Amino acid sequence: MSQRSNIGDVSRRAGVSVKTVSRVLNNHPYVSDAMRAKVNAAMEELNFRPSVAARILAGIKSAQIALIYDNHSPYYINLIQSGCWERCHEDNVRLLGQPVDVADPDIGNQVRGLINETHVDGVVLSSPVTDCDPVLRALESMNIPFVRISPGTNHAMTSSVYMDDAQAADDMTTYLINCGHRRIAFIKGHPNHMASDERLFGYRRALDRAGLPFDQRWYADGLFDFESGFDAAEKFLALTERPTAIFASNDDMAAGVQAAAHKAGLDIPGDISVAGFDDTTLARMVWPPLTTIRQPTFELAKTATDLLLSGQTLVHRRLDHKLIERQSVAKVGAALENEQTE
């Protein structure tokens, strides 16, 4: 498949500078008719559609971009879409949302088809698509600008926006330790997401710093969905020495943990504390409301879209997280704390 033409290709075909091409795109009054005709002919021959960056340089504020995502949490995706849309709305740019399956072996061709059929001028990638090699290669081969949200690999490839997942998980684990918990279970996220490994690393780092062992009995793999959180919690709660706190690496799984605890007749947080990650709308809808890490999901998406529309290259912005205390975590009683530390 042929590569997508860019403004440099047009300038070379027309034998003019990139600045002149931009002036033509902007309908600049000080461009001769002959020069304008030469540039327009080159664009037609190359089937050229200006990228987002070229449009911004040319002062053209109407464009169309795509958000490509694969995530099982509707609460998370709603924030991602809302953040992208708000920034697009500021410049009258259309946003197309396209769900994909990163496990599909044909995903690269599907993305190529999306670009060719919709003629979008740029792309925002959300995790885990942000680290999907067939997608990255497809977009690079088409010379289309794209920005990634929370990439875990190839940081020098494109501009990106991210938060420190490892530190955030470390902060939550440390908070639970400071509340007196010593048996802290952890549910890892979906294996396709690089953030899952980072959050596990942060959890283990905090345990290690506090002199607490990483115990496989209090660890489970999850899929970032309610069901996997529920199943993991049932396993933990069936243990003779069950955890006093369960830290799920997203709010959907934490909601599953709460459901399993309620089913078992346990009080939250009296009998067991539950913590989540993301601070989606769900964290405030469950009972009791979740203590969680507020990931700046909306701001991540809006910032990524801003980087794309502004045409900036190789800009990496880290946004801050925040630990949100609600009613799902309680301090461990003195007697239990003594028992745990014997």
Q: Tell me, what's the pLDDT at 100?
A: 93
C-alpha–C-alpha distance, residues 227 and 259, integer Å: 10
Q: Tell me, what's the pLDDT at 55?
A: 53
**Inter-residue contact 67 to 118 (CB < 8 Å):** no
Q: Tell me, what's the pLDDT at 57?
A: 47
Sign of CA dihedral 214, 289, 340, 227: negative
C-alpha–C-alpha distance, residues 119 and 104, integer Å: 23
Per-residue pLDDT of the chain in tens (342 residues, 90 and over written 9): 345 567 778 889 999 887 788 777 766 667 788 888 898 898 888 877 655 555 544 544 447 899 999 977 788 899 999 999 999 888 778 899 999 999 999 999 999 998 888 888 889 999 999 999 999 999 988 888 899 999 988 788 889 999 999 999 999 999 999 999 999 999 999 998 899 999 999 999 999 999 999 999 999 999 999 999 999 999 999 999 999 999 999 999 999 999 999 999 999 999 999 999 999 999 999 999 999 999 999 999 999 999 998 877 788 999 999 999 999 999 986 334 444 444
C-alpha–C-alpha distance, residues 178 and 165, integer Å: 20
E strands in the chain: 64-69, 94-99, 122-125, 146-149, 160-162, 184-188, 219-221, 245-248, 273-278, 291-294, 316-318, 322-324
Q: Enumerate domains of the chain plus CATH numbers.
A: 1-48 (1.10.260.40), 62-163+296-311 (3.40.50.2300), 165-295+323-341 (3.40.50.2300)
Q: Tell me, what's the pLDDT at 3?
A: 58
